[in-house]
Chains A and B, each alone.
Chain A
């Protein structure tokens, strides 16, 4: 054999280095930022490193992590799910409502209903080819409406009975860390394995990376999409249930804008908003980064807590522009 194909020879050294730099920033940027932010916080605020604060941080992060896990899958398929905030709130209310009928109902009811909403999202996106953002905007509205309907227009807050075993799910701890932290951790590990180590995961990447090619290669594109939206619904519902267990009630006003938080952390974590690439670990780092910054803003005290979303927005912008320039340096297909 004489002819040998190796690395592309046509790219000059400078573009390669630039590509490399952008690539590193895009993939590892969030991790580097997280390390820096944690280091700064550790030395600047003595209370930051305290076990109490860390436990609190972990618990706060766990709810968002569960939602963002589902969002990661959806975004990798090239979609978006704007309904997660509403579905999250709905899940909480359903769990609190269900808790009067016992632990199982408290858990099964939100998962089933929220999963169904996700499934419908998936079917509409995959089968009717409607744009994901508009479909899920509609279900954002629908889920919020459903929530209001079952809470007497938001005036009725269901409480989890004080003797319910369900409360343990939200308030129980191991080593001071709440159960939700462990649940989120286990789910993220499973999610990571599913994404990276299963055929379904490969088909998620292929669907988002090149849908036409995926179809030509015989991958189940429609089924993949339906599955990820259903997952996103179920996970948002679960996050809602955990929150209800923790707060011991189904708070109706939570979840407004949570979809934006979830999308931000996923993208900041290095998942391409245009689909086709991303990692669960990146998302977890993104969640950490967001909440550590929030924590610092709270610690400073004098700072407006709204800086959080400004920082998220700015991060998002930088990441999106980086991703775009990265895509441009690639050879054209």
Chain B
């Protein structure tokens, strides 16, 4: 092998890292799909895709909100707890019908997110610290509200959200898809979205350019809370029970992973919605592949840990360039 093939012109570490961060997630998804097509039995079945997508939907919805927060150079550790909190309210109001119950759950998420945003934007508390309090207390509060119980739900319309189909595609997948499109438009085409990205890129300059930095930040965390509540509702409907003890456990980790693997650096200034969706798909595929090949959950977790570190490391190369 000649030296030129080893080191093509202009090749350097930083560029490779940049390329990897930009397109790595797509390449990985395609590669993993191809691998599964050839080496995994029963992979190319409708039922399998269905299962994978339904499992990925709540993570995807939370990850969308997380992507916005990370775009502002923040992080929201409380998303799992907010899911639980939202879920705990559902059985209380389901008697009044599914719509009020869902609305209440969403309002809970919105309030929780706004609260986080207030701490970050107005009190100037570091995002990781501000959202930690809700991570610690949120799930406990949810359990107190639910009196520590798993509550079985019987409202047919509500449960339809979890296992119903629309045009042959599960409702939760529709919702996740729709929200992804909405978020992509929000980030790409609205004043709010562009301001968000500008604030993440250079907060001082944005303030001097007269942008309403605080309101945008509050809005971002509020949206993140709202999306976590949506995920909480869907996960509850799918389970057929409100289970504040377990719902959304370690969701913050999955969501951050998806965002980071999708090529967004933790240093802010960029929101990649498509990348994030593919990040969710990639992590779902990794897990599915390992399980289908009889590799235990333990291996899946360790592989996931390695992927996170690699993704963050690659993103770091870019941000320190």
State the A residues within 8 Å of B (CB). Answer: 80, 124, 128-131, 133-135, 137-142, 144-149, 153, 256, 260, 263-264, 273-274, 304-314, 316-317, 320-321, 324, 328
Tell me which residues from 266 to 285 in chain B have a Cβ below 8 Å from any Cβ of chain A. Answer: 266
Closest CB pairs A-B (n = 3): A313-B137, A309-B140, A145-B301
- From known contacts A131-B312, A141-B305, infer whether A320 and B253 are also in contact, taking CB-CB under 8 Å: no
Q: Are A304 and B144 in contact (CB under 8 A)?
A: yes
- From known contacts A313-B140, A316-B133, infer whether A133 and B148 are also in contact, taking CB-CB under 8 Å: no
Question: Per-residue 0/1 for B236-251: is the Cβ within 8 Å of any A Cβ (1 yes, 0 no)?
Answer: 0000000000000110
Residue B304 is within 8 A (CB to CB) of chain A in the complex: yes
Interface of chain A, helix or strand or loop or mixed?
A: helix
A residues near B147, Cβ cutoff 8 Å:
304
24 contacts between A and B (CB under 8 A): A128-B313, A129-B316, A131-B266, A133-B77, A134-B260, A137-B256, A138-B308, A138-B309, A138-B312, A141-B308, A146-B302, A273-B132, A304-B148, A305-B148, A306-B148, A309-B140, A312-B137, A313-B137, A314-B137, A320-B119, A321-B123, A321-B125, A324-B125, A328-B124
Question: Per-residue 0/1 for B281-321: is the Cβ within 8 Å of any A Cβ (1 yes, 0 no)?
Answer: 00000000000000011111110111011001100100010
A residues near B77, Cβ cutoff 8 Å:
133
Closest A residue by C-beta to B142: A306
A309 to B245, CA, bound (A): 12
How many Å from the CB of B253 to the closest CB on chain A? 5
How many residue pairs at the A-B interface have CB separations less than 8 Å? 135
A149 to B290, CA, bound (A): 14
Residue B130 is within 8 A (CB to CB) of chain A in the complex: yes
Closest A residue by C-beta to B245: A306
Q: Are A274 and B129 in contact (CB under 8 A)?
A: yes
Tell me which residues from 143 to 188 in chain B have a Cβ below 8 Å from any Cβ of chain A. Answer: 143-144, 147-148
A140 to B144, CA, bound (A): 27
B residues near A260, Cβ cutoff 8 Å:
132, 135-136
Q: Are A307 and B296 in contact (CB under 8 A)?
A: no
Interface of chain B, helix or strand or loop or mixed?
A: helix
In the complex, which of the residues B133, B297, B299, B304 has the most CB atoms of chain A within 10 Å of its own CB atom? B133
How many Å from the CB of A67 to the closest CB on chain B? 15
B residues near A124, Cβ cutoff 8 Å:
309
Q: Are B305 and A138 in contact (CB under 8 A)?
A: yes
Residue B205 is within 8 A (CB to CB) of chain A in the complex: no
- Out of A130, A139, A304, which one reaches B143, CB within 8 Å? A304
How many Å from the CB of A116 to the closest CB on chain B? 14
Q: Are B312 and A263 in contact (CB under 8 A)?
A: no
A153 to B313, CA, bound (A): 29
A92 to B100, CA, bound (A): 46
Q: Are B137 and A317 in contact (CB under 8 A)?
A: yes
- From known contacts A260-B135, A307-B144, A312-B137, infer whether A137 and B301 are also in contact, taking CB-CB under 8 Å: no
Residue B126 is within 8 A (CB to CB) of chain A in the complex: yes
A295 to B144, CA, bound (A): 17
State the B residues within 8 Å of A (CB). Answer: 75, 77, 119, 123-126, 128-130, 132-141, 143-144, 147-148, 249-250, 252-253, 256, 260, 266, 296-302, 304-306, 308-309, 312-313, 316, 320
Q: Are B140 and A141 in contact (CB under 8 A)?
A: no
In the complex, which of the residues B132, B147, B299, B316 has the most CB atoms of chain A within 10 Å of its own CB atom? B132
A148 to B295, CA, bound (A): 12
A320 to B132, CA, bound (A): 10
How many Å from the CB of B260 to the closest CB on chain A? 7
A280 to B313, CA, bound (A): 33
Q: Are A148 and B296 in contact (CB under 8 A)?
A: yes
Knowing that A309-B143, A310-B140, A313-B136 are A-B contacts, what are 10 other residue pairs whose CB atoms are under 8 Å apart, sorted by A's residue number? A134-B256, A134-B308, A145-B300, A145-B302, A153-B296, A264-B136, A304-B144, A306-B140, A313-B140, A320-B133
Q: Are A149 and B302 in contact (CB under 8 A)?
A: yes
B residues near A135, Cβ cutoff 8 Å:
309, 312
Q: Are B137 and A316 in contact (CB under 8 A)?
A: yes
How many Å from the CB of A310 to the closest CB on chain B? 4
A321 to B135, CA, bound (A): 16
A residues near B305, Cβ cutoff 8 Å:
138-139, 141-142, 145
B residues near A130, Cβ cutoff 8 Å:
309, 312-313, 316
A328 to B299, CA, bound (A): 46
A292 to B316, CA, bound (A): 43
How many Å from the CB of B274 to the closest CB on chain A? 22
- From known contacts A145-B299, A149-B302, infer whether A309 and B130 are also in contact, taking CB-CB under 8 Å: no
Closest B residue by C-beta to A140: B253
How many Å from the CB of B161 to the closest CB on chain A? 27
Q: Are B308 and A137 in contact (CB under 8 A)?
A: yes
B residues near A320, Cβ cutoff 8 Å:
119, 125, 129-130, 132-133
- From known contacts A153-B296, A274-B129, A316-B136, infer whether A129 and B302 are also in contact, taking CB-CB under 8 Å: no
A146 to B309, CA, bound (A): 16
B residues near A305, Cβ cutoff 8 Å:
148
How many Å from the CB of B319 to the closest CB on chain A? 10
Q: Are B304 and A141 in contact (CB under 8 A)?
A: yes
- From known contacts A134-B266, A145-B301, infer whether A317 and B316 are also in contact, taking CB-CB under 8 Å: no
Q: Are A317 and B140 in contact (CB under 8 A)?
A: no
- From known contacts A133-B75, A138-B309, infer whether A148 and B298 are also in contact, taking CB-CB under 8 Å: yes
B residues near A314, Cβ cutoff 8 Å:
133, 137
Closest B residue by C-beta to A261: B136
- Out of B130, B132, B296, B302, which one reaches A263, CB within 8 Å? B132
A308 to B140, CA, bound (A): 7
B residues near A145, Cβ cutoff 8 Å:
297-302, 304-305
A135 to B266, CA, bound (A): 12
B residues near A140, Cβ cutoff 8 Å:
253
- Out of B75, B123, B136, which one reaches A312, CB within 8 Å? B136
Q: Are B124 and A324 in contact (CB under 8 A)?
A: yes
In the complex, which of the residues A124, A142, A307, A328 has the most CB atoms of chain B within 10 Å of its own CB atom? A142
